[in-house]
Structure 1
Amino acid sequence: MSRKPITKKIINTAESCVDDNLRGVVATYPQLQLHPKHRVVTVRSTVDSKRVAVLGGGGSGHEPFAGGLVGSGMLDGAVAGGVFASPPTGHVLYGIAQLYKYNSGGVIVIIGNYTGDRLNFGKAIEKAKIAGIKVEGLIVGEDVASSHNKTGGRSMCGEVFFYKLCGAMANKGYDLDTIRRIAAEANKSMATLGVCLSACSLPGQPPLFEIADDEMELGAGVHGEAGIKKMKMGTAKETVVMILEQVVAHLKLKSGDRVAVMIDNLGGTSFMEMNIISAETKSYLDCKKITVERIFSGHLKTSLEMHGFQICLLHLNKEHGDLWLELLDAPTAAVGWTGGEASVRREGGHIDDDTLLQSDARKAAAGPALSPKHQELFRVSLAKAAEDLVRSEKLLNRLDSGCGDGDCGITLKKFGLAILSYLSAASVQNPSDVLWDLSEIAETDMGGTSGGIYSLGLSAASQAFTKAKTVDASSWLQAWEAAMRAITKYGGAEPGDRTMLDTLYTAAAAFKQHLGKDLKHALVQTDKAADKGAKATANMVARAGRASYVASGYTQDEDAGARAAAVWLHAILTSIADTL
């Protein structure tokens, strides 16, 4: 049986990564002080604050926990163990003594509910008391998945809530016993549950466990451990609902209750996913008529690069809720805290003011009109172009896969289908209006870069037709050239840069050259030129567009955008030529 490959990480050595990480924290934030021999990070102090100091910490690999949560209003210090390993007693004791030196009000130590942390932090606290230091510890844990254990649930991202609550109380001058008592009450009112889609790996090691592509682990921990149950993947909404049903039941929340929410990125989850999770979390709680006072989302207590998330709810009860919310909103200098003024709940929904984009400028028919016969030809040729774009989806995706994101065919298929829907009911009497409508369709239905390019070109062509006196070959050429100028002006590409312009310019030049001759001959020559222009891009060095961002080895076939232009030009030109 072959051994799983070691996961790639940008580190120096597995042995030095924790110390290198701490050096990076204080290099980035020089207001913090590193005590390297003991792996302790503290705020820089020179005089006695007279207040209580807050110490946290535990194993490394939970970024930004805990060194990144040191700062006024949160932790005064943090002690780091090895990756997913509790720090030794001596290092914890040093952290306590260092904080007490400048904070004679005492030290409260937040201890994660893990055996190693309980033992090492606990022994350090007892040693500190023997030495005459005023110190108290608080073991915290809120994991629903392990709540049946004799010692209670594991400490998950909710531990960060305690850093914030205790740090704010310390800044307000609360004494040691009061801080501990209020924090202990908060521990009874919070619960966390999460899922992971993939495992993390310790530096220099392969992934800790395997998850099938269509599965997720419910109840995964923050030390890389697997969950309590494998489940089939669901949508973001389904997964959030499944988690929150258990958390809400665990806390016995009911309609009218208030909560603060923490959504923790376990390390490998994108902002897009986290925002979707936040939206679904609020929607679920709104439906339950549970008021969401705050959502704190982001990297708070991760598990290296684990792909997943945790949701922690803090029940803002009638007795302490207002105080806890005040403490959560209190300012902090800790860089890892994601809350702030922007996270304060506001009343009112979210709406669009559609009147802003309403315009009467194009309500009336603009430019010269087509005869009934030419209207039918216009409609047929546009429909043929749209149908051919739809049929070319796989070809265009393949051409785009080497140097783009492989979706050129998908994007233009959307455009083609939208055009066919438009043609089923729209009037095509005025080319200017049709081209304007197509530019709007490109903007709304295609989207992305391609939508922007086509929308620009078509709107410029539309404007050119408003100035035309008649609809003839010359006016179509002028509109064509206006479109190319607009694309060059805003897109930055020119002929020879390996883009759709290589097709358009080559074809336009041929059309212009043969314009004074037989029209059918001109159309045939233009079609040949378009194909030639697209094929020529295979030998070009990309100097604009997405293909210019990748190595030349990925651009050995035709440009997808150039071929797409040849596809729809061929459809239009042959449709017209067949009637002559």
Structure 2
Amino acid sequence: MSSQHITKKIINSPETCVDDNLRGVVAAFPALQLHPKHRVITVRQKTDTGRVAILGGGGSGHEPFASGFVGEGLLDGAVAGGVFASPPTGHVLYAIAQLYKYNSGGVLVIIGNYTGDRLNFGKAIEKAKISGIKVEGLIVGEDVASSKNKTGGRSMVGEVLFYKLCGAMAAKGYDLETIRKEAVESNKYMATLGVCLSACSLPGQPPLFETVHDEMELGAGVHGEAGIAKVKMGTAKEVVAMILDQIISYLKLGAGDRVAATIDNLGGTSFLEMNIISAETKDYLESKQITVERIFTGHLKTSLEMHGFQICLLQLPAERGDVWLQLLDAPAEAAAWTGCAMSVGKTGGHGDDDTLLQTHAIRTASGPSLTLEGQELLRGGLSAAANDLIQSEALLNKLDSGCGDGDCGITLKKFGHAIQSYLDTSSVEYPSNVLWDLSEIAETDMGGTSGGIYSLGLSAASQALASAKSNDVSSWLSAWESAMQAITKYGGAEPGDRTMLDTLHSAAEVYKQNIKGDLVELLKKTVTAADEGAKATANMVARAGRASYVASGYAHDEDAGARAVAVWLQAILKYIIKNK
């Protein structure tokens, strides 16, 4: 472990990070009150509510747990320990006394099922009772991986659900014993299991354990613990199914059962991954004919920056399920609670109205038509361009790495294949229609910024040809210039900015200068100009496009977009020269 590098974290110091974190919570949410000596955060209260207060807490490093859930309909207070360490008894006792001062209905202390928390929170509760405070503790835990331990499963993200259930009951005026009894019952119907792809690290320390690139830890804990088994990486669908199979077995769920699902980000998992996991969770449960009434997802109880997630299912039994669902849906306002009115299911499925973007009449011929010979030249030129784009994938990707995201070749290859498919079935009699079709293909098959730029340019060129009187060299120059103007207008780049426009502009200028001469010579000079335009970008400073976002040292070769234009433009012109 000593040979590992300390993980970089943006903190002031490992010693002050917990207190600095709490100061940040109340800086962002000043409606809360910080009691700094005891690391306690509470709602601001001046008069007795007469109801029960709910207190949570535990070690830090699980943010937003627990201070992020202090607010209306959830916790009335939270007490924080050191990173992955239980708060001391004195701090817990202070939090209990502070809440009881303004909540004469008593205090319910929710305790995670960990030895340190059980001891320190338990001792504080007993001391509070001796001093006359009406207080009860509730030890909760729902981890499947550790469920065979003598003391039961560890407390995972399900602890947050207890905050919500108990907070809602307290807001409704339930008494202390009723709240505790209902929570104890719900714990029997709850189970959590998760995986991690990489470990977290305590501030000032290296990662707690190592994972190889193709493995995950199944059953990892929220204190940086490794799991109960190493398993091979799989797709989101496969990993979710593996986790849910164990939870379903543990809870003995079957067709017709109802659940509320909570999907917890362990800290370092992207929104994209979390959304995919949510979709796969819903699909898999429904494939087992288990009704998913709610899905709550997000950073709830994390393990610092651990890359992984947990799935928690709360079964909603026939006799109590509707009551628990009402409590989960009850109004709540806290910084980190993700449930809201939009969490409640609506009738009706999901789908697209494919009629919206369809034209309501068959498109008529637009602009001048081509002779059969002209059609063959256009079809052959486009086919050559498509082939060369596909063959140039590696080159364009290489040019795009460093100063871009390395996928220019992949994107243009998609365009090339889409053009080939188009040419297999489509007429090319009307060039304006062809360019419009290509603009649609660029939008749907290329996608991203490149697709948008190509789509804009091609659609502008299409409109220019639609109003042309003939398919002569001047009409094509007009279409060419219209395309460049549209790209500049919406893309923001101009010639000289190290983009595709540099190739288009250089070639267009030579084309314009030689437009009255011999056609073959015109095309040959344009081919040369396209190549020179692309090469010139190697010495330009990027002022637009993705390359402008990175240091100039990364942009030491031709611009990938500029070279891509040269590839397809030269392919088209060379084909015409050869077959004219």
Normalising to structure 1: TM-score of the pair? 0.99
SS in 1 for 2:242: helix
2:544 counterpart residue number:
544
Distance in 2 of aligned mates of 1:476 and 1:140? 74
Could you tell me which runs of 5 or more consecutive residues in structure 1 were left unpaired when the two chains were aligned.
none
1:252 counterpart residue number:
252
Kindly report which structure 2 residues correspond to 1:466-505, keeping only aligned pairs within 5 A, or say none: 466-505=466-505
Distance in 2 of aligned mates of 1:132 and 1:143? 34
The 3 A distance-change label for structure 1 pair 361 and 450 is farther
CA deviation profile, 1:199-227 (whole Å, cap 9, x unmatched): 00000000000111000010000000000
- Deviation of 1:293 (Å): 0.7
2:329 counterpart residue number:
329
Distance in 2 of aligned mates of 1:421 and 1:450? 20
Distance in 2 of aligned mates of 1:167 and 1:33? 18
- Deviation of 1:546 (Å): 0.9
Q: Which one is further off, 506-515 or 416-425?
A: 416-425
Contact 1:362–1:433, Cα closer than 8 Å, also in 2: no
Partner amino acid for 2:471?
V
- Deviation of 1:2 (Å): 6.6
**Root mean square deviation of aligned Cα:** 0.9
CA deviation profile, 1:227-285 (whole Å, cap 9, x unmatched): 00000000000010111011011111111111111000000011111110110111011
- Deviation of 1:373 (Å): 1.0
Distance in 2 of aligned mates of 1:458 and 1:92? 67
Distance in 1 of aligned mates of 2:390 and 2:578? 22
CA deviation profile, 1:440-487 (whole Å, cap 9, x unmatched): 110110000000000111111111111111111111111111111111
Partner amino acid for 1:395?
L
2:278 counterpart residue number:
278
CA deviation profile, 1:10-67 (whole Å, cap 9, x unmatched): 0000110000000000000000000101000000111111110000000001010001
SS in 2 for 1:566: helix
Distance in 2 of aligned mates of 1:570 and 1:340? 56
Distance in 2 of aligned mates of 1:322 and 1:373? 73
1:302 counterpart residue number:
302
- Deviation of 1:413 (Å): 0.4
Distance in 2 of aligned mates of 1:139 and 1:402? 52
Aligned length: 580
Contact 1:26–1:34, Cα closer than 8 Å, also in 2: yes
SS in 2 for 1:27: helix
Partner amino acid for 1:348?
G
Partner amino acid for 1:291?
T
Distance in 1 of aligned mates of 2:89 and 2:37? 13
CA deviation profile, 1:494-550 (whole Å, cap 9, x unmatched): 111111001001100100100101111111111111111111111111111111111
Partner amino acid for 1:185?
E
- Deviation of 1:360 (Å): 4.2
Distance in 2 of aligned mates of 1:411 and 1:573? 22
- Deviation of 1:118 (Å): 0.3
1:289 counterpart residue number:
289
SS in 2 for 1:231: strand
1:369 counterpart residue number:
369
- Deviation of 1:563 (Å): 0.6
1:449 counterpart residue number:
449
- Deviation of 1:579 (Å): 2.6
Distance in 2 of aligned mates of 1:524 and 1:36? 77
1:90 counterpart residue number:
90
1:38 counterpart residue number:
38
Distance in 1 of aligned mates of 2:320 and 2:579? 81
- Deviation of 1:363 (Å): 1.6
Partner amino acid for 1:252?
K
Normalising to structure 2: TM-score of the pair? 0.99
- Is it true that 1:564 corresponds to 2:549 in the alignment? no
SS in 2 for 1:424: helix
Partner amino acid for 2:266?
L
CA deviation profile, 1:404-447 (whole Å, cap 9, x unmatched): 10000000000001111111121111101111111111011000
Could you tell me which runs of 5 or more consecutive residues in structure 2 were left unpaired when the two chains were aligned.
none
1:406 counterpart residue number:
406
Distance in 1 of aligned mates of 2:85 and 2:391? 57
Partner amino acid for 1:430?
Y
Distance in 2 of aligned mates of 1:318 and 1:573? 73
SS in 2 for 1:356: coil
- Deviation of 1:72 (Å): 1.2
1:160 counterpart residue number:
160
Partner amino acid for 2:384?
K
SS in 1 for 2:507: helix
Distance in 2 of aligned mates of 1:360 and 1:491? 31
- Is it true that 1:423 corresponds to 2:423 in the alignment? yes
State the identity %: 76
Distance in 2 of aligned mates of 1:360 and 1:509? 40
Distance in 2 of aligned mates of 1:273 and 1:362? 42
